[in-house]
Structure 1
Amino acid sequence: MAAGTGLTVGIAGCGYQSGGGELDWQFEFGGAPMSGSSDETWLADGDSCYRIRNRSGRTIQSDDTGVGFVDVDDARVTAYHETGDQHWSQSADRQYVGDPAVADGRVYLALEDGGVTTLEAPADDADESTPRWTADWEGSPLSLHAAGDTLVGRHETGVVCFDADDGTERFALEDEALAADAVVDIALAGDRLWLLSTGDPTDGETDADHELEAPTLYGIDDDGTVETSRSLPADTHWLETVGSDALLGVDDELWAIAADGDRRFALPLEGSTEGATPVTVSETERCYQYSDGTLEAIDVSAGNVVWQYDEYSFRGTPVADSDGIYGWGSGPDTDGCGLVAVTSDGDGWWGASPTDGRGCLGTLLLVGDRLVVVVDETVYGYRKTPGSRYTLV
């Protein structure tokens, strides 16, 4: 089976419908050996998943003239459908640095030796296409975040914002302009950029004997104007967004800060937000948090806990959509650690142990109606929703 082509392995039978957590397809993506190192990451935007890798050395390439070896030193992006089939593949002219981002079918890369670029599916009548745009950037490597028509890059001493459609730089903002010692987290919400920063020591000193000022939340408009700022408790642990609100994990509470900087609510949670990783689902204004053995679903618009569930023990960061939340874990439906799911209504949905006994291994991505797992050089596609297992043949 060629790389990028899904190998279907489901069981067919009379009246049989594949169940949640059942393996649907898998493929190997190893490729030809190369002389240099190959940095690689996998990301998803809900509709596709993307293999993003640096290539250096010699690789096999085919074209109209035949198959042969070519020298490469670039960043290669390959997109896959939920079926496991390759959607498109394209290269930037240099390797990527920092952290890439994906959103709405586009992949954004900060490039070695400067520049930021975006790759997307070629036009229907072309096998390859040039990047949508490449913008100048000469600073340190960027950790990129994308949403809607906004692309933001975090670097060592500040942030830079680009128009995601054409690469125009909207603004650049240094930490010192915010009187911040360091920006520790950023999140995008519509046309608002939220920054969570630590402050300078209260007396200007930097050693361990001097207490830091409280963290600060900044709300920044799409032209770089600081519209709001708000001091936060010292035990603020994470920043996310739902709608236009900033969501903050503060000790054992979830705070929602509106676009004007006012706190909409401070909601007590079952577990501490420290060490917890929130999962947001913007189309439903739903936020999940798993902590201390309890999964909680919060309706951000209403400001209340919708339900709590404690029969599955999650490991790592789950993924979620409007139907439910999915992740590595264990519970009454699994033998050891496997894939588990809870519905958006708070009911245990299904649990499935990997058939090859791998347990909780690999990168987990949610792509359409499949849970995609990447382990070493193999990609697995598991069904997301359960069916009815009748008579097998």
Structure 2
Amino acid sequence: MDVLRQSDPHRIGPYEVVGRLGAGGMGKVYLAESRSGLRLAVKVVRAEHAQDRMFRARFRQEVRAAQTVGGVGTYTARVVDADTEAERPWMATEFVEGPNLRDAVLDHGPLPEDAVLTLAAALGEALGAIHGKGMVHRDLKPSNILLAPDGPRVIDFGIVRALEATSLTRTGTIVGSVGYVSPEQIRNGAEVGPASDVFSLGAVLAYASSGREPFGEGQDSVILLRILTRDFDLTGVPKRVLPLVESCLGAEPEERPTPRAVVEAAGHTGRSLRDNTRPGWLAFAPDRSEGDERWLPDRDSGEDRSRVEYVAPATVVSEPSAADVPTTPPGGTERGPSRRSLLGIASGGLLASGAGVGGLLFTRDSGGGSPGGSASKSPSPKGSSAARPTVAWRYESGEPDAAGGPCVGVSSDGGVLYVAVDSGTVRAVSGEGEELWRVRLQGGGASTPVVTSDAVFCTTWGGDEETPRSLLCAVDLEGQLLWSRNLEGYASVPVLAGDGVVVGTGTSDAGEIRAYSDDGSEQWRRTTPAGVTTDPLVADGVVYAGTYGDRLVALDAADGTVLWSVPAGADVNSPALVGGKTLVTTSGTESRLHGFDLDGNRIWSSAELSEVSGCVAAGSLGIVEIGGTLTAIEADGSKAWTYESGAEWLPGTAVAGETIYVQTDSAVHAVGLDGKRRWSVPVDTSGSMVAPAAHGTRLYVNTPRGITALDLKV
């Protein structure tokens, strides 16, 4: 648990906030207490998420589903309270202490055989409780199972679809995580029943008992085909567990056991299960009844888990120490002690900007740091190497306090700014701050404009929460609408590719990546397993993007051919190309950092992280905010330097030349690639969700009311 910072709330609803736990899929998570002393995990939607209609809809649905199930003996996390209509919606659940199943297996290896049978029975009870309320979980997987002192808990009901409620699910789409979906989910999409969860349970038990993904890894199509053909690998599953796993993985729903039968097959009754899930049931679940934390030590194993674990601040070296990070590259044989910290990467847009209105959203997890910590070089903000810039001019948008502030695109010669505001209006502003023209586009908020020598491209949003829609618009340099194209779901910022643009679309359940030429003709489109969560990254003729669920995909920019698709952690955030050879991504709800080569092979992964926000590539470095600390990492995951401002960084980082521009609510900082501060100036950027934009001797910073231009000629 992290300590509270000045920017954190002290109360949420009637609850006193006592610490920071990390993040869920949609916002910050705090440890809070009621007046009676009840400890709660309170999830608060980030301000930028709360203003995104799709995220609000998902949050409402999470609460509606979760409030119908839970309580003693259900092995699910109980929802205690919620306010879904607040400006910053929140939900309070019982505080569950312990790692998730995926982390437990990664950190300690497969669970003992008896513990797997106890896990099976508890999950059977949980599914029975969920199904008894007329629901199907649809996304049961290791990271959605917490190993508490008194037994497992099934969490993350944001993907549960109440059968009698209006759903965001679309017929014919797959809701779930590839590798844990059932055959009928693949064939029928939303039309699945309780037996689908039992299939997922079988895959979970196989993973828990063997440490292996039962359907392997690789492209989505390959994994889905293995599921449809029952081509699973149960190597390492103990003999006592194997029959149960095989029955759960039955090809047809009617062939699988009911949740009650799972409990019985695991050798348990309700009473015996309670006896077997008392404190100490699992060696690495904290036993608070004894006043200590008992963790199973990391095993000295020959297995290659391909993980890099971080301590902030630290440097990757061959032998772990107080200031080092152990690394196990492919083919390695040993890992150091488990250590957790805060890292993440996001994509580049204009000048490698990390966020725009409707752009990338970042989450934090509940991972804590290892005792003791460490120290390393951390350049002090003191000792600026350049004089501070001055304000050249200010432009008032006429839309005070628009959500996230306006977005800025700059012409190639720097002579004109193109400003998109929350109403869906695009304006052209001269280099001296005078408005030249404006055009009103259909839809609501507009993305960061992308500028070519002939046109300005941006996306706008419309529709409603159930059927969100977007438009891709092209405007000429005189302010005339050239064309617009309808897109389903919410759209990313368009990204230049060849003589046109590429854009990602979709909801949590379905998505596409499309390419358009500059005249508006569609060049190609490709469906994705779920909605695209990232602004695409285009590099060397390849389009990279992440989706809801856990997929990182690579497409040929010329014709959209799928080059590869690999699992990259839950709800992938945007990829960044670090050092020209390593794709680095973060996963949202699992909050991990991953490094991939350009063929889609994972070369390292981090432990669970917290305080993850957006980051961009800066030459050979990746620049990321880590809980109030700006951090530079190398392509191999090692840490180069850290920089602290003493305040919380806002979303959006820009890189121009050898300077990194970041912002807090009250200041803009310029940091060199060596981690040393060049200057900082006070600017009211409160609530900004947009990165600064730099061109030549000007830096354009968005404010609640418009744009402030800073003159960098110092």
Same fold (TM over 0.5): yes
1:306 correspondence with 2:640: yes
Distance 1:115 1:29, change over 3 A: closer
1:143 correspondence with 2:492: yes
2:504 and 2:532 in contact (8 A); partners too: no
1:248 correspondence with 2:585: yes
Supply the distance in 1 between the matched residues of 2:429 and 2:620 (Cα, whole angstroms). 28
Report deviation, 1:97. 4.4
Q: Which residue of 1 aligns with 2:649?
A: 315
1:370 and 1:382 in contact (8 A); partners too: yes
1:43 correspondence with 2:407: yes
Distance 1:307 1:252, change over 3 A: farther
Q: Secondary structure at the match of 1:96?
A: coil
Supply the distance in 2 between the matched residues of 1:140 and 1:365 (Cα, whole angstroms). 27
Distance 1:119 1:184, change over 3 A: same
1:101 and 1:146 in contact (8 A); partners too: no
Supply the distance in 2 between the matched residues of 1:101 and 1:353 (Cα, whole angstroms). 24
Q: Which residue of 2 aligns with 1:15?
A: none
Supply the distance in 1 between the matched residues of 2:682 and 2:461 (Cα, whole angstroms). 40
Give the AA of the match of 2:406: W
1:117 and 1:135 in contact (8 A); partners too: yes
Per-residue deviation, residues 310-369 of structure 1 (Å, max 9, x unmatched): 355442123332232223349xxxxxx422222122112222335xxx574656522323
Supply the distance in 2 between the matched residues of 1:28 and 1:292 (Cα, whole angstroms). 32
Supply the distance in 2 between the matched residues of 1:382 and 1:140 (Cα, whole angstroms). 36
- Give the TM-score of the pair, scaled to structure 1: 0.62
Supply the distance in 1 between the matched residues of 2:395 and 2:471 (Cα, whole angstroms). 34
Q: How does 1:353-364 map to 2 (within 5 A)?
A: 353-354=682-683, 358=684, 360=686, 362=688
Q: Which residue of 1 aligns with 2:598?
A: 259
Q: Secondary structure at the match of 2:518?
A: coil
Aligned CA-pair RMSD: 3.9
Where structure 1 has 5 or more consecutive residues not aligned to the other structure, the ranges are 1-17, 32-37, 56-74, 123-127, 200-214, 331-336, 388-393
Q: How does 1:213-228 map to 2 (within 5 A)?
A: 215-222=550-557, 223-228=559-564
1:298 and 1:307 in contact (8 A); partners too: yes
Supply the distance in 1 between the matched residues of 2:395 and 2:530 (Cα, whole angstroms). 46
Q: Which residue of 2 aligns with 1:91?
A: 439
2:506 and 2:530 in contact (8 A); partners too: no
Supply the distance in 2 between the matched residues of 1:111 and 1:341 (Cα, whole angstroms). 33
Q: Which has the higher helix share?
A: 2
Q: Which residue of 2 aligns with 1:170?
A: 523
Q: Which residue of 2 aligns with 1:102?
A: 449
- Equivalent residue for 1:295, pick from 618, 624, 630: 630
Give the AA of the match of 2:601: D
Report deviation, 1:167. 1.9
Distance 1:309 1:268, change over 3 A: farther
2:408 and 2:449 in contact (8 A); partners too: yes
Distance 1:246 1:136, change over 3 A: same
Q: Which residue of 2 aligns with 1:120?
A: 476
Give the AA of the match of 1:309: Y
1:370 correspondence with 2:698: yes
Q: Secondary structure at the match of 2:486?
A: coil
Q: Which residue of 2 aligns with 1:59?
A: none
Report deviation, 1:181. 4.8
1:237 and 1:274 in contact (8 A); partners too: no
Q: Which residue of 1 aligns with 2:503?
A: 152
Per-residue deviation, residues 58-84 of structure 1 (Å, max 9, x unmatched): xxxxxxxxxxxxxxxxx5421235543
Report deviation, 1:192. 2.3
1:347 correspondence with 2:347: no
Give the AA of the match of 1:42: P
- Equivalent residue for 1:327, pick from 644, 653, 662: 662
Give the AA of the match of 1:30: G
Report deviation, 1:248. 0.8
- Equivalent residue for 1:338, pick from 667, 690, 698: 667
Report deviation, 1:151. 2.1
Report deviation, 1:44. 2.5
- Give the TM-score of the pair, scaled to structure 2: 0.37
Per-residue deviation, residues 162-184 of structure 1 (Å, max 9, x unmatched): 22422221233334xxxx35443
Distance 1:173 1:359, change over 3 A: closer
Supply the distance in 1 between the matched residues of 2:576 and 2:406 (Cα, whole angstroms). 23
Supply the distance in 2 between the matched residues of 1:39 and 1:339 (Cα, whole angstroms). 19
Q: Which has the higher strand share?
A: 1
Where structure 2 has 5 or more consecutive residues not aligned to the other structure, the ranges are 1-385, 463-468
Distance 1:240 1:384, change over 3 A: farther
Distance 1:353 1:50, change over 3 A: same
Report deviation, 1:288. 0.4
Query: Which structure is larger by alpha-carbon Rg, 1 or 2?
Result: 2
Supply the distance in 1 between the matched residues of 2:405 and 2:685 (Cα, whole angstroms). 21
Distance 1:85 1:25, change over 3 A: same
Distance 1:170 1:373, change over 3 A: same
Distance 1:306 1:85, change over 3 A: farther
Q: Secondary structure at the match of 2:674?
A: coil
1:99 and 1:143 in contact (8 A); partners too: no
1:239 and 1:248 in contact (8 A); partners too: yes
1:197 correspondence with 2:539: no
Q: Secondary structure at the match of 1:137?
A: strand
Q: Which residue of 1 aligns with 2:613?
A: 276
Q: Secondary structure at the match of 1:259?
A: coil
- Percent identical pairs in the alignment equals 18
Supply the distance in 2 between the matched residues of 1:114 and 1:160 (Cα, whole angstroms). 13
Give the AA of the match of 1:350: W
Distance 1:139 1:268, change over 3 A: closer
Q: Secondary structure at the match of 1:23?
A: strand
Give the AA of the match of 1:258: D
Q: How does 1:46-57 map to 2 (within 5 A)?
A: 47=414, 49-53=417-421
1:162 and 1:171 in contact (8 A); partners too: yes
Q: Which residue of 2 aligns with 1:187?
A: 536
